[in-house]
Amino acid sequence: MIARLDPGTRVLANGRILVGGHPRRVLRLDRAQADEVARWRAGRPVSGSHRALARLLVEAGVLRPEPEAGGPAEAEVTVVVPVHGRVRELAACLAGLRGLAVIVVDDGSPDERAVSKVVSDAGATYVRRDTRGGPAAARNTGLAAVTTPYVAFVDSDCVLEPGWLDRLLPHFAAQQVAAVAPRIVSYGADRGWLSRYEAARSALDMGDTAAVVRPDGLVPYAPTAALVVRRAAAGAGFDERLALGEDVDFVWRLVASGWQVRYEPGARVAHRHRIRLGTWLARRVEYGTSVAALDRRHPGAIPALDASAWGVLAWAAAVCAPGRAARAGLAASCVAAHAAGLARELPGEPARAAALAVADTLTAGRLAGASMAQVWWPLALPAAIAVPRLRLPLVAALALPALAEWVERRPPLDPARYVAAHVLDDVVGAVGVWKGMLRERTFRPLLPRLRRIRSGGP
């Protein structure tokens, strides 16, 4: 096993202190642990006696999860493809799965004969559900038919890139790994402005950084558009009561059971996104409705905002305090208090503590703006109408995070349309969130999680 430090991790105090992870934390190592981490940084493999330490640091986010030598062969994997209609897309999907054992679960498609023929032509196994049960039920039907130690769930609107499975299977050499997800990228991203926006900001694309998947992590969930799972960990599979969010629930239940789920962006699977505006908007509302149902099953896993407490207080003071001098003074005091707390955790590093406090505050502002667009705007809009001084901050909260994201990513879309699509995406999604909260009779997804710096041993 090779352990690599995450690029965002900082090593201080001659290796005795690691600052990093998501959310950021300060980890103190004893001398023996620090020496072992130094050997890993020099490229030496992790010895058997130190695997527990490596796993803890991977879970904390200061080390990147790396595949190990070995892992299962492709012959030990069965691919399950749920489908309802989509005959043409299914044919393209199955073309990328040749040479693998494949079970296609027809979830009550109206044209049974057409689907069956495509499956037969591809040399796959056809399983028919006469009554449509949804993605969770279809995947569970396929899962029940799997006899191999591993199962790969692949949606019928995916296009498989060569080598996608080869990059995922080595992760299973680590016995604690229950599932590994590839990066989901957009297929045909040059077909109009909405397609280009989706290519840059799809809800299925979890980015280019390898990570352990957990609700409060850098990668909080892994979609089952493509997901390889250890059969022994899958249990009964997906919750068929969930029409949406069943994949997130499945992954979070694995994590809660003590398994590790990994995200491997080196493996890529292309996905055909919905690029008609009406269909896209409707799907965004549907995604939002799943938030409250997931919160019922995993309380507190989806806070409206997850950020530094001092950073959020600084922005609240900057917006709400009476008078410019008071706003500036209170905001600066919050940043200074955060820096002082960090300095106590990082002895001899006052400049770094101050820089981290400023960075946390900027991040908190950006996340608060995103939360305003994605969850809180139905509450903020009436307040802004009633109090003119709040109107500019509301507009800034909606637009500036989108503009900052455009500057970072430089997508193949002009900033005006990118920002407009981004704001529309978030605002429409919030409609779904509120719809789901009313249905579930809970408003817990409105609550923030305000964090203080975490410190201690690994």
Per-residue pLDDT at 189: 59
pLDDT band of 457, cuts 50, 70, 90 = low
Residues 44 and 96 in one domain: no
Q: How confident is the model at residue 452 (pLDDT cuts 50, 70, 90)?
A: confident
Domain shared by 236 and 319, yes or no: no
Kindly report the backbone phi and psi dihedral angles of residue 334, in degrees, each rounded to the nearest multiple of 5, phi listed first: -65, -45
Q: Are residues 361 and 243 in the same domain?
A: no
pLDDT at 79: 98
For residue range 309-358, list pLDDT tens digits in order: 999 999 999 998 888 899 999 999 999 999 999 999 998 899 999 999 99
User: How far is the C-alpha of 164 from the C-alpha of 266, rounded, in Å?
Assistant: 8
- State how far the Cα of 119 lies from the Cα of 105, in Å rounded to an integer: 10
Say if residue 267 is in the same domain as residue 359. no
Residue-wise pLDDT for 216-245, tens only, equals: 999 999 999 999 999 999 998 999 999 899
Q: Looking at the structure, tell me whether residues 106 and 164 fall in a common domain.
A: yes
pLDDT over 70 (residue 286): yes
What is the pLDDT, as a whole number, of residue 190? 65
- Assess if residue 285 is contained within a domain: no
Q: What is the pLDDT of residue 313?
A: 96
Do 340 and 261 fall within a single domain?
no
The C-alpha angle 116, 122, 128, rounded to 5 degrees, equals 30
Q: How far apart are CA 16 and CA 34, in angstroms?
A: 5
Contact partners, residue 23, CB within 8 Å, separation at least 6 = 216, 306, 451, 454
Within-domain flag for 84:
yes
User: Could you tell me the residue range of the domain that residue 332 belongs to?
Assistant: 306-456
Instruction: Round to whole Å and give the CA distance between 166 and 156.
Output: 20
Section 50-57 average pLDDT: 88
The 10s digit of each residue's pLDDT in 165-207 is: 999 999 999 999 999 999 999 887 567 888 889 888 888 999 9
Residues 179 and 313 in one domain: no
Residues 125 and 191 in one domain: yes
Whether the pLDDT of residue 250 is over 90: the answer is: yes
Tens-place pLDDT, residues 349-407: 999 999 999 999 999 999 999 999 999 999 999 999 999 989 999 999 999 999 999 99
Question: Could you tell me the CA-to-CA distances from 74 to 70, 97, 151, 152, 398 in Å, in that order?
Answer: 12, 11, 10, 10, 46
**Residue partners of 46: CB distance under 8 A and separation at least 6:** 1, 2, 3, 40, 54
Within a domain: residue 175? yes
Structure tokens at 132: 């449509």
34 Cβ neighbours under 8 A, 6+ residues apart: 14, 15, 16
The structure tokens 């799907």 sit at 283
Residue 139 pLDDT > 70? yes
Q: Reduced to 3 states, what is the DSSP secondary structure of residue 287?
A: helix
How far is residue 83's CA from residue 125's CA, in Å, rounded to a whole number? 13
Same domain (yes/no): 53, 89: no
> Using 50, 70 and 90 to split pLDDT, how confident is the model at 7?
confident
Cα separation, 373 vs 367, in Å, equals: 10
Mean pLDDT across 130-139: 94
122 residue type, one letter: A
Inter-residue contact 67 to 171 (CB < 8 Å)? yes
**Does 281 map to a domain?**
no
| Domain contains 170 | yes
Q: Which pTM does this prediction carry?
A: 0.91
pLDDT at 81: 98
Q: Residues 140, 60: one domain?
A: no
Residues 335 and 416 both lie in one domain: yes
Number of domains observed in the structure of the chain: 3
CATH of residue 266's domain is 3.90.550.10
Helix (H) or strand (E) holding 450: strand 449-451
Q: What angle do CA 207, 79, 265 make, to 5 degrees?
A: 15
Q: 350-353: long-range contacts at Cβ-Cβ below 8 A with a sequence spacing of 24 or more? A: 352/10, 352/12, 352/19
Residue 163, C-beta contacts closer than 8 angstroms, at least 6 positions apart: 267
pLDDT score recorded for residue 352: 92
Q: How buried is 425 (Cβ within 10 angstroms: 0-12 exposed, 13-18 middle, 19+ buried)?
A: buried
Q: How many CB atoms lie within 10 A of CB 235?
A: 12
Task: Tell me, yes or no, whether 139 lies in a domain.
Answer: yes
Q: To the nearest whole percent, how much of the chain has pLDDT over 70?
A: 99
Asked if 227 and 153 touch (Cβ cutoff 8 Å), the reply is yes
User: How much is the average pLDDT of 142-166?
Assistant: 95
- The alpha helices in 298-349, defined as continuous H runs, are 309-320, 324-345
Q: Is the pLDDT score of 70 beyond 90?
A: no
- Distance from the Cα of residue 339 to its chain's centroid: 29
Predicted confidence at residue 183, as pLDDT, reads 96
Are both 96 and 43 inside the same structural domain? no
